[in-house]
Structure 1
């Protein structure tokens, strides 16, 4: 049973629970218990939460644990998933203290928001329709300072490496010939130009704003954040481009008409990089008033935002056609899984709450069952080595890193390696359009608190999973999930499959054409 830690009450703290006016009962309601029952009520108030949360776990519910150096250093934030309605005949206020009620209410909000976002999903592939009448997409031709000019600074974005080579092949990166057709050395933060190059070729794109239903803003906000990460510049400099963009959009008739409600942004970094806290990291772009109306697509979303939607990190596989996907499915299904478990990553010695060091120790002590690939000192800079490891492994351990989500989760899924997750926020509350609600179909969940407290050996847990169960999970990953997790190249054409890009655009077209703004 995970120990629940209290959330720090700071207005700038990410993942903050919103205080509700009815979350705490009036004082008189907590003091009207008869004295003869005071001892009994005291005992029940202690036992009930343990019983309740234990039942949540037994019924395959989740609890949310977020541990991050960026977000809340040396602080663990856990809240249980309260998918069960609490309006029973007993007075819950008597048994659960207000803090627990607030957590339960908050996670119910997350659950309800995800269900709403899932309901927007469309089964229609608009890329295959001959007519786009009433479903047209307009792509803004922004001044180059908002996108192209940022890419020209590729040699100076990071102090330890030149990123220019990653912009080759329309930002897919250089080809990895040894892995086959469609494989590229793609940078994890290059989703913005990848998506932009793709949407320019969408069959429903129009060049007249008056005919459009959906408006795509190709702002490279993530790359803008990245270029200032390691430079000593003021917050005004970090925020300036986003402010200028919104001023420019504010002069557009299409923005003025609905206040940006029919506009979408794709940002290639995590939500918190655009909501700068007291750490001075990132910009304030998503905190600006005008950015509350549009839809934002990010590799990691804020869980309590209806119009923030998580979409897959870009992987290294970018197919061009259905045939490319089918050939790869056959290859990966027949690959030899020589390793039961693997872990590609580095320890986090400066983050005491991170379980990576414990997983590394368990892996290295399990000779013959687990293979560790050390990513320290850029040991994972060669994607071919990491992907080959994943393709040869049954399970891939995916603990949180600098933030809960991890690109490696998608690399493992694309490689047919079953991800082992330790924090529900890594995937389960992130990608409602690309991953199924039933996480047991494609992943194994191990509570990171159990690992942290030395109560579970992950390798021993995975050994107990039957071979047939592994094969069924892998079949689902390869044939059901994988095609919708990869981004095809800029001119890709799919008939049988919908890739990650197509899923986003189909669902957004369906959303804006079926709702009144």
Structure 2
């Protein structure tokens, strides 16, 4: 579930080495892995198997899994009622992360089915967290401060601006500088119209920072504030160390300095950080290192337990983790920009039934991508029902290629990749393409403020285990969905969801709509109000 590999994203970025040389190195690596003696692989799997534990205390079961390569030890604690879906737990094989549900994990470890009730309890806890998060959604469509001001800490530049300044060598083979232009929106994409930019998926932190600085509820007296925003670019801090041979002390240095700085602030000491919010532009797993070397341990530091953490992918059993949308390429400036785009995509001719923009995961045994690609390609002889855009060969380098494909497709396949969430989910939604999901953690357990609890309004769910066992042909299944059902879902996506899934530019003037940022701020303000009423 951690974004352990940058491979699925690197085709969108500028590389310093020759791409062919990089590809050849990867091929050599996989060939080497396949030559590892079977006995060694068996021992390796036994090690991973033995790293999973189930601890029972009273009426609570804690299911944990750890791995040296994952560099962490994750636990899921129980609640009571069986929900609709399973919560994935990260497992490691010899080349990548894949997802396994608690039930599957227990069966692998030879546990009895009596444990299923405890597993169901854990899922119930997660669903109750999401209901709590949804209770903070404000009914007010416009910002109403009412004494609930937000204070923006003026952090030393090393915690944010200086990180952006390291864009040339943040990752050895990538140059991020072009993605930080235009207040981190990236370079414009004139072909797609007003408000379209080449936004990188990890640019959320500076984008959000710019918006908060201009929020109407921002105040400059910390003694009058109800909410405190900490503009730490923790995702960029992590990114610069991912592929460099440095110690864990070096990776954690800035996080520890941040905690030391915050503890000197009076507002932090007053409520132990409970009224503070941090926005992190990478997945939760990247900030939860306990052992090993991947990521930092920012969110494992005790002082970071209380603040609200807004992430593009939350950890399902962390109540103060809240998922917020990945940044897309669309950043409207006005209501007219949104309405013009709504009209364009609702009237778009959708000549394809299904599309999938992505790449296979040949090193991940549990991945269903190869099966989906095969089903998609085999349907090409049947009226070109499905189109596969291979991102591994550079097919997704240009954002307009992806958006145009989604605009001409009825359904967009969104299987998990290196982690369950996908930026592509939001690209498909803002293109009016109905997402087909295979893992509830891709969306249903993630975005309580931006996506409805009734997921059937905007998506189609297919159990990935049925795909893995080839019990269902997804393309053939989608062919059976009626035109009325498709039209109803698309209208809901375009008119009800789309405005709230995009981040307007820093000077956006939206009156009819709430964008993703406005929804976040309104929900945070509502939470502050309810905290005060129960204090």
- Paired residue for 2:440? 424
Asked whether the equivalents of residues 159 and 230 of structure 1 are also in contact (C-alpha less than 8 Å), the reply is yes
Select which of 203, 206, 209 maps to 1:190.
203
Q: Residue 125 of structure 1: CA displacement?
A: 3.6
Spell out the pairing of 1:4-403 with structure 2 (5 A cutoff).
Answer: 19-23=56-60, 61-65=84-88, 73=96, 76-79=99-102, 97-127=113-143, 129=144, 132-367=145-380, 368-403=384-419
Q: Which residue of 430, 442, 448 maps to 1:414?
A: 430
Please list the CA deviations of residues 115-159 of structure 1 after superposition, one character each: whole Å capped at 9, or x if unmatched.
1111111111452x4xx3411110011000000000000011122
Deviation, structure 1 residue 405: 0.5
SS in 1 for 2:277: strand
TM-score by length of structure 1 reads: 0.85
Asked whether the equivalents of residues 66 and 423 of structure 1 are also in contact (C-alpha less than 8 Å), the reply is no
Task: Measure, in 1, the Cα distance between the counterparts of 2:283 and 2:115.
Answer: 28
Other-structure match for 1:40: none
Q: Which residue of 2 aligns with 1:39?
A: none
Using the alignment, how far apart are the partners of 1:268 and 1:415 within structure 2?
A: 22
Q: Provide closer, same or farther for how the CA distance between residues 219 and 74 of structure 1 changes in structure 2, counting only shifts above 3 A.
A: closer
DSSP-derived class of the 2:343 partner: helix
**Which is higher, the Rg of structure 1 or of structure 2?**
1
* Structure 1 counterpart of 2:525: 509
Asked if 1:405 corresponds to 2:405, the answer is no
1:61 to partner: Cα distance? 2.5
Partner in structure 2 of residue 460 of structure 1:
476
Ranges in structure 2 where 5+ consecutive residues have no aligned partner: 1-47, 62-81, 104-111
Distance 1:285 1:9 in 2: 27
Q: Which residue of 2 aligns with 1:489?
A: 505
* CA displacement, residues 390-424 of structure 1 (integer Å, 9 cap, x when unaligned): 01100000000101111100000000000000001
Residue of 484, 499, 510 corresponding to 2:515: 499
The secondary structure found in structure 2 opposite 1:156 is coil
Contact 1:335 1:391 in 2 (8 A): yes
CA distance in 1, matches of 2:445, 2:91: 16
**Distance across 2 between alignment mates of 1:226 and 1:378:** 22
- Take 2:334 and 2:262, find their aligned partners in 1: how far apart are those partners? 35
Q: Distance in 2 between matches of 1:10 and 1:162?
A: 41
After TM superposition, the structure 1 stretch with the greater mean CA deviation from structure 2, 480-489 or 96-105, is 96-105
User: For 2:140 and 2:306, how far apart are their aligned partners in 1?
Assistant: 25
- CA deviation after TM superposition for structure 1 residue 513, in Å: 2.3
TM superposition shift of 1:102: 1.8
Equivalent residues of 1:68, 1:404 under 8 A apart: no
- CA drift at 1:99: 2.0
What runs of 5+ residues in structure 1 fail to find an aligned partner? 1-7, 25-55, 81-95
The CA RMSD measured in Å over matched residues stands at 2.4
Distance 1:247 1:148 in 2: 19
Question: Do the aligned partners of 1:271 and 1:301 also contact (CA within 8 Å) in 2?
Answer: yes
Whether the 8 Å contact between 1:67 and 1:77 is mirrored in structure 2 is yes
Distance 2:288 2:130 in 1: 21
Distance 1:513 1:112 in 2: 20
